[in-house]
Amino acid sequence: MGSTISNCCQLDREGISPYQKSYLHPDNSRTSSKRLGMDGGKKHVRFVENKKSTAELRPSCDDSPQRGNFSRMAGPSSPTKNCTNNGCEDGTVTFQPPTSELNPSFIKHVKDIRSIFVFDKKIGDGKFGTVFLAHPKNDLKAQVAIKLIPQESFSHRIEKELLLLKSIKHRNVIRYISAYKDNKYYYIITEHCEGGELFKKIVDQGCLDELEACNIISQLLKTIKFLHDNEICHRDLKPENILFKRKGDNRIKLIDFGLSKQLKKGEIMLKKLGTPYYLAPEVLEERYGKEVDLWSLGVVTYVVLCGYPPFYGEDAKELFSNIYYVNYDFAEEDWCFISDEAKDFISKLLVKNPQERLSIDQALKHPWILSNITEPESSVRHELTSNHSDVHPCDKKVLDVTTEAFSKSSECATLDSYERSLVELF
């Protein structure tokens, strides 16, 4: 099951098979048939493990050649700073570990939510709730996103995500504000991000220039470091889960913690979870750690620089085989204008053995990151005081896919059978 909380500022989306080569692209001098947008800007779906399925996702062979296995770069770790609960504008962060037992006491009971907030307009509909753009009654300029979830739809998983999101305060993570309930609904209030998705930006532009791409990846690296330092693995890093706080502003916000996991020290994850294009090889082997986020970051970097993913296939078996064998390249027609440092950065992240992959600290010290680093454009206004007329719809449709559809016996899952297996989450 996917997230129902932290994606409340996203665009509505349609489901597609994640195995189409055609991807995103408007009119651009660097044109490729694989680019995101050649399919109308449709988005990637993710899957969760079907506990009843015994289908194997990995290829039948036991070993595979490795590509991109470059020497690792060393770099000292940088300490995590603290900030006040309402701060974090200067890049500092804080984390309060959630309690081991779920406790909904932080969800306040209210007789009428409209005594606190004015609902301006509906900006999204979903299976588990409706999202509204709203503002506090005492502040006409402060925009927030409010998700209404019927009580019968408020699950243990949603509560876990909410508890985790509540514990995180970081300038590049979607900000939880509060939660309320009455006799019919739960109301989840988060900041509203009007800048739209990184995915949409790639659709519109075809790809990003290196300076802009590096700026975004650098912010994402620092966010991942914060999460990993606090033993949190995101497990679903992709352009759809990266928002821009404001229009014309490159400050990002990471969203959708529905698949995230708070780990115990040294804990190994076993479930097959994530979005197919961005899965690390070790996820297919059902034994992995936080290093999967670094692999996904490598895929995201590849996508933002050329407009399509490094791994794809006509069906599930081909896609996962290409991931498992680390079978990708830098096509000359699309990568001739990209620096060797950028390619090296990607190559050192897309390494099959997670122990030989760049660590988060090494990635932060990579020459491509250090040579292009700039501070994102950002206003000094309070996060809730921006007031723009254009509002993006939210609460996109995320699709869950069971592993049964990916592989049965020795046969490849067909596109039709895969699409029939999609189940709308919202």
Q: Which residues sit in the known binding site for ATP?
A: 147
Neighbours of 132 (CB within 10 A): 21
How far apart are the C-alpha atoms of 154 and 24, rounded to whole Å? 35
Q: Which DSSP letter does residue 217 get?
A: H
Record the tokens describing residue 383, joined without a space.
């996060």
Give yes or no for a contact between 253 and 245, defined as CB atoms under 8 angstroms apart. Answer: yes
Give yes or no for a contact between 147 and 129, defined as CB atoms under 8 angstroms apart. Answer: yes
- CA distance to 77, 165, 189, 253, 337, per residue, from 171 (Å): 19, 13, 17, 7, 32
Residues paired with 211 in a beta bridge? none
Q: Which DSSP letter does residue 414 get?
A: P
Residue 196 region by backbone torsions, left for phi larger than 0, else alpha for psi between -120 and 50, else beta: left
Annotation: binding site: 147
Give yes or no for a contact between 147 and 131, defined as CB atoms under 8 angstroms apart. Answer: yes
Give the 3-state secondary structure of residue 425: coil
Q: Examine the residue annotation and report whether 236 is marked as an active-site residue of this protein.
A: yes
Give yes or no for a contact between 114 and 127, defined as CB atoms under 8 angstroms apart. Answer: no
- CA distance to 91, 175, 403, per residue, from 199 (Å): 24, 20, 25
Amino acid identity, residue 251?
Answer: R
Q: Which DSSP letter does residue 122 get?
A: E
Record the tokens describing residue 419, joined without a space.
């699409």
Q: Which of 236, 293, 315, 334 is catalytic?
A: 236
Q: What are the catalytic residues?
A: 236
